Structure 1
Amino acid sequence: MTMLDLHTHVVPARTPFLSRLSSADPRWARLEPAGETGDVLVAGRAFRTVRRVAWDLDVRRAAVETSGRTGQLLSAMPELLAPWAPPDQGLDYARAFNDWLASEIARHHGFFTGLGIVPLRDPDKAAAVLTEIAESGLLGVEVPSTPPIAPLHAPAWAGFLDEAERLGLLVFVHAVGGTAAADYPHPMAANGVVFPANIGMAVGGLISTGALATRPNLHILASHGGGSLMTELPRIDFLRNITPELRELMPESAAESARRIWFDPLLFDVGLVQHLARVVGTERLVFGTDYPFMPGDPIAFLDDPVLPTGFAAAVRATNPAMLLDMLTRPDLLAKGIGK
């Protein structure tokens, strides 16, 4: 059975450029490999120990194929997005990461596809990098749910979203803790609360400001099932119905806009996934596991008999294949842009 995993993460190997960068400023995340595992250091402190599959794509492919998966969309570990980085350094870093990822993916002849990163403290520079991402063969870009400068729905990011739509690139909005996570005594305590809230606010803001409705060809993938988004939609629509100014911002209902978004099913509960599918349609759910960071199988519930026949096959194979097909657009190929 085909299984295309669209929510997976990588950590770049120690290229000369990345090593020089992290030596000059310890805030850059860097990998310290030691045999079959490696420590990821963030701000000079050990953040996470990862297996070799996180950086060695040859080892990763063998492990992924053994698990029955037939392809993966690779994106940076969120801590690599470096929202603190000055624009020029962020630009150099993004280009180095994107070059590394594109070259590694090319060696595997279609088994892997990937998403680039951009300098987050300068939305104009970020928009300019999107053309480079498309030309490299990467299929889109990963951004955090709480970018610096302004939220994704703010005018500062309008040009970035316009360019992503023009190029036919996927924008993967990934939940991060942001500043709110610092108030918790342990990172996992924040993870369980702040991540769902932040991804819900990020995609909810794109809906309630009309940013999605006015960009009908913009491809958005929301991590972790959109987090709190499903609880926001009825409230947004209630307020839209009683607020003329909000109706001017939103030419369509919140539920209609939500059906423009793609979601992974990482909600950890079959009932929540059922509700998500009822609201946005089963066809908007795509297989995503957070590989290789989630232990066990976080979405084993896809095989729960309470789900309708064909649900798991659609999420694991049909839907992600449809999204990937949309991202490899013939009109862009004719112009020499994109994969």
Structure 2
Amino acid sequence: MTAPTVDVHAHVLLPEVDRLVADRPGHAAARALDARRNGPDALAVSGAMVRERLGPLTDVAQRLAAMDRAGVDVQLVSPSPSHYHYWADRDLARAVCETANTATAKHCAHAPERLRGLGLVPLQHPDLAVRALDHAVGEGLAGVEIGSHAPGRELSDPAYEPFWELAAETGAIVFLHPFGCTLDERLDRWYLSNSVGQPVENAVALSHLIFSGVLDRHPRLRVVAAHGGGYLPTHLGRADHAWRVRPDARGCAHQPSHYARRLWFDSLVHDPHVLRELVRVAGADRVLLGSDFPFDMGAADPVAALRAADLPEPDFHAVRGGNAAALLTPEETR
């Protein structure tokens, strides 16, 4: 039987979360930082773009119709990264994550055979992340979505060890999706904040997971990197060289390229040559179809974009859906 076509990178907009944070202390400062990082031209274009896509971002019927047009059978739906709100204090952060988890689960419950969901955890409060992951799994979600860092904390921070341990123990998917780049105003023109910033943040976050030994300590961890892992997979030669020649780069047990086959990556790289290289580096069993539905930086026809890479037919079908179907199947039933 042919595996369903599964898109692991699709978003939902949650008005419940927006209402929760409106007018809260810290929200205005966070919006101001976002404005500085993106610049006025990007904000104007993005605002209009999101308004045009509110239907498929919030309405299940419109989402399913768009999936049918794209030939997608199943979506793994994650909250818009604009809902992270890593500035929030403990009480608000807990409420944001639990509200997002419940609302995403409710959205997916309208079509459970076609929609699976991911929740959120408050990276700014590592001790609350375990509780939030528990809550997400308890809501029936397949795991959680996280950013590339929290203010003052990288993903290599030892405070996250209990979170990684629980994610590995439960088999929860951790979808790594950056939001905002710490290069700030250097990227505030020409939408560099996204076209350059997102791949940079992916590469930095994954490097922290690799070099710090997180993946050594938690070999069952299931991390899926958005945007094909950013710049990292195609530049692992430099990381491997540093690991070989510099003792201060030896935080992990193996050279960094080893870990490309311990992670999963979506296919959203916008270039068939890069996609073929990603499959070569990570393995055809570690790449998953991704569209960034329904945003303008996504792929309107992700299957066609995958087909353009001209992969061997078994690899094409693995990326199209076979790998994701296996990843979304509980371990005890596999």
TM-score normalised by L of structure 2: 0.85
Relative contact order, CA 8 A, sep 6+: which one is greater? 2
Q: Would you say 1:316 and 2:320 are equivalent positions?
A: yes
Q: Report the counterpart of residue 97 of structure 1 in structure 2.
A: 100
Q: Report the counterpart of residue 6 of structure 2 in structure 1.
A: 4
String of CA shifts for 1:123-180, please: whole Å, max 9, x gaps: 1101221111111110111011132231111212222211211221111110222332
Tell me the distance in 2 between the aligned counterparts of 1:179 and 1:246: 23
Give, in angstroms, the shift of residue 286 of structure 1. 0.4
Written as runs of structure 1 = structure 2, the 5 A alignment for 1:266-285 is: 266-285=268-287
Q: Report the counterpart of residue 225 of structure 1 in structure 2.
A: 228
Cα gap change, 1:222 to 1:184, in 2 (>3 Å): same
2:144 aligns with one of 141, 146, 151: 141
The question of whether the paired residues in 2 share the 8 Å contact of 1:83 and 1:148 is answered with: yes
Partner-residue secondary structure (3-state), 2:305: helix
Tell me the distance in 2 between the aligned counterparts of 1:250 and 1:209: 6
> How many residues are aligned here?
313
Q: Report the counterpart of residue 40 of structure 2 in structure 1.
A: none
Give, in angstroms, the shift of residue 299 of structure 1. 6.3
String of CA shifts for 1:270-320, please: whole Å, max 9, x gaps: 111111111110110001100011363366332127432333222112111
Cα gap change, 1:196 to 1:305, in 2 (>3 Å): closer
Partner-residue secondary structure (3-state), 1:235: helix
Alignment-mate amino acid for residue 27 of structure 1: H
Written as runs of structure 1 = structure 2, the 5 A alignment for 1:1-339 is: 2-12=4-14, 14-15=15-16, 18-19=18-19, 21-24=21-24, 27=27, 46=47, 48-49=50-51, 50-186=53-189, 188-244=191-247, 246-247=249-250, 249-293=251-295, 294=298, 296-297=300-301, 300-304=304-308, 306-325=310-329, 328-330=330-332
Tell me the distance in 1 between the aligned counterparts of 2:269 and 2:5: 19
Cα gap change, 1:179 to 1:240, in 2 (>3 Å): closer
Give, in angstroms, the shift of residue 323 of structure 1. 1.1
Tell me the distance in 2 between the aligned counterparts of 1:113 and 1:187: 34
Cα gap change, 1:94 to 1:207, in 2 (>3 Å): same
More helix by share: 2
The question of whether the paired residues in 2 share the 8 Å contact of 1:285 and 1:315 is answered with: yes
The question of whether the paired residues in 1 share the 8 Å contact of 2:276 and 2:309 is answered with: no
Give, in angstroms, the shift of residue 256 of structure 1. 1.6
Partner-residue secondary structure (3-state), 1:5: strand
Partner-residue secondary structure (3-state), 2:257: helix
Alignment-mate amino acid for residue 104 of structure 1: H
The question of whether the paired residues in 1 share the 8 Å contact of 2:174 and 2:222 is answered with: yes
Tell me the distance in 2 between the aligned counterparts of 1:305 and 1:127: 39
The question of whether the paired residues in 2 share the 8 Å contact of 1:18 and 1:93 is answered with: no
5+ residue gaps, structure 1:
31-41, 332-339
Give, in angstroms, the shift of residue 55 of structure 1. 0.6
Superposed CA RMSD in Å reads: 2.5
Give, in angstroms, the shift of residue 103 of structure 1. 2.0
Give, in angstroms, the shift of residue 60 of structure 1. 1.3
Cα gap change, 1:250 to 1:288, in 2 (>3 Å): same
Alignment-mate amino acid for residue 115 of structure 2: F
Instruction: Name the stretch that deviates more: 233-242 or 283-292.
Output: 233-242
Alignment-mate amino acid for residue 281 of structure 2: V
The question of whether the paired residues in 1 share the 8 Å contact of 2:7 and 2:76 is answered with: yes
Cα gap change, 1:5 to 1:295, in 2 (>3 Å): closer
Tell me the distance in 2 between the aligned counterparts of 1:323 and 1:162: 18
Tell me the distance in 2 between the aligned counterparts of 1:88 and 1:182: 31
Tell me the distance in 2 between the aligned counterparts of 1:133 and 1:108: 18
Tell me the distance in 1 between the aligned counterparts of 2:128 and 2:142: 18
Cα gap change, 1:137 to 1:53, in 2 (>3 Å): same
